[in-house]
């Protein structure tokens, strides 16, 4: 059984011009010890999907559908039940370690406060676990680090501290929202390696949200590509990157530097802009930017096409059904 099973998740946010759906009828799952990558451009609903797992949607946000965690429906949880889940069963790492750590609290307080709340351990026991955690995430001189404030660390070190915070109560699922986007490339590799290692050592399930396909290829087992709040394609990482079948996925991969089909020095891009919240096109939301779009794409919401037991796309016309290996990975 999967650790996390999401069915028909729809997230509605309040915007200046009325309610808007940020996530639409999304269904996916994460297995035990699996790393799922969720990718898409800004505004595709990745972060809102993650926040709804924790019941932390922004002010006046609402989620409907079903989220089963460890066999239990959690979307209908009370505030209290959600609090018992957060940090303890499902932990989250946020995008920018410069802003997600509290500037006025010491690392020790931030590493131990939830541990002490959830596990009711003593201050000394919590401090010892904090020291171990800092060693796990490879912070030098853990004892000195405990007494320091976040401002005394670099971005990469802060993200390691944030990861240690997330791991404190040994959660079953870790949600990482763009964990490397705010970091230098050299630091990114270290964080990715750390996440990989943690998954192996702790059989941790991870949901990584990113718009960086490089992160996806090196870290994930499976990928789900989102566009305008819906899934467009999902499959095993190797399948999906070698053999993308949705025009949008193909575009994303072609847009990677060094991957351009024409092999020219110019970077390829997908024409047009991602649609704005509350202004998603009808039918297949991608039809406004799709080179293969037909008149019929505007009408119907795309049905799922299963290519094999793990690989599926949501495209009304499936233009690459005959092609086996178009844009291959470098």
Partner 1 sequence: MKPVSGERKTRKRPLSGTGFTPFIIRRLLTSILLVFGVTFISFSITQLVPGDPVAANLGQSAYSDPEIVAAFEKEFGLDQPVPVQYYRYITNLLQGDLGVSLSSKRPVAEDLKEYFPATLEIALVAVFLALIVGLLLGIISAVTRDRWPDQIIRVFSLTGVSMPAFWTALTAFYIFFFVLGWAPGTGRLEPGGEPPPTVTGLFTIDALIKGDFQTFRQAFSYLLLPAIVLAIYAVGVLTRFTRASMLEILGNDYVRAARAKGLPEFTVIRRHVLRPALLSIITVAGVAFASLLAGSVLVENVFSWPGLGQYAYRAAVGLDLPGIMGVSMIVATVYITMNLLVDILYRIIDPQMKDSA
CB of 84 to partner 1, least distance (A): 6
| Nearest to partner 1 of 168, 241 (CB atom) | 168
Nearer to partner 1, 54 or 213 (CB): 54
Q: How far is the CB of 149 from partner 1 (least distance, A)?
A: 6
Residues forming the site for partner 1 (CB under 8 A): 54, 56, 59, 79, 82-88, 91-92, 94, 96, 99-105, 109, 113-114, 117-118, 149, 151-152, 162, 165
Residue 56 CB, nearest approach to partner 1 (Å): 6
Q: Which two tokens stand for residue 324?
A: 């086996």
Q: Which is nearer to partner 1, 1 or 104 (CB)?
A: 104
Instruction: Give me the residues paired with residue 76 across strands.
Output: none
Question: Least distance (Å) from partner 1 to the CB of residue 81?
Answer: 10
* Ordered strands of the 62-69 beta sheet: 18-30, 4-15, 62-69, 72-73
Of 57 and 125, which has the nearer Cβ to partner 1?
57
Q: Which is closer to partner 1, CB of 85 or CB of 284?
A: 85
Q: Minimum distance between the CB of residue 151 and partner 1, rounded to whole angstroms?
A: 7
């Amino acid at each position: 059984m999967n650790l996390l099973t999401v069915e028909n998740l729809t997230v509605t946010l309040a915007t200046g011009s009325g309610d808007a759906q940020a996530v639409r009828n999304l269904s996916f799952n994460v297995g035990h010890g699996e790393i799922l990558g969720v990718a898409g451009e800004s505004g595709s609903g990745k972060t809102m999907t993650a926040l709804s797992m924790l019941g932390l949607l922004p002010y006046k946000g609402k989620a409907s559908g079903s989220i089963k965690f460890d066999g239990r429906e959690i979307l209908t949880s009370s505030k209290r039940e959600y609090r018992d889940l957060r940090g303890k069963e499902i932990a989250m790492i946020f995008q920018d370690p410069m802003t997600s750590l509290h500037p006025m609290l010491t690392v020790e307080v931030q590493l131990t406060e939830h541990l002490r709340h959830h596990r009711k351990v003593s201050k000394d026991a919590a401090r010892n676990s904090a020291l171990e955690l800092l060693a796990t995430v490879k912070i030098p001189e853990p004892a000195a680090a405990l007494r320091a404030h976040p401002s005394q660390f670099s971005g990469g070190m802060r993200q390691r501290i944030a990861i240690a915070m997330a791991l404190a109560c040994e959660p079953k699922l870790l949600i990482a929202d763009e964990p490397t986007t705010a970091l230098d490339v050299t630091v990114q590799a270290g964080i990715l390696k750390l996440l990989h290692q943690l998954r192996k050592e702790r059989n941790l399930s991870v949901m990584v949200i990113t718009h960086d396909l490089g992160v996806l290829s090196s870290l994930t087992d499976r990928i789900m590509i989102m566009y305008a709040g819906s899934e467009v394609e999902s499959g095993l990482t190797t399948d999906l990157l070698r053999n993308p079948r949705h025009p949008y996925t193909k575009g994303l991969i072609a847009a990677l530097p060094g991957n351009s089909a024409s092999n020219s020095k110019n970077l390829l891009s997908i024409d047009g802009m991602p649609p704005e919240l509350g202004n998603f096109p009808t039918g297949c939301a991608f039809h406004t930017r799709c080179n293969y779009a037909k008149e019929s794409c505007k009408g119907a919401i795309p049905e799922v096409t299963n290519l094999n037991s793990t690989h599926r796309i949501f495209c009304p016309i499936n233009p690459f059904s005959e092609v086996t290996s178009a844009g291959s990975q470098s």
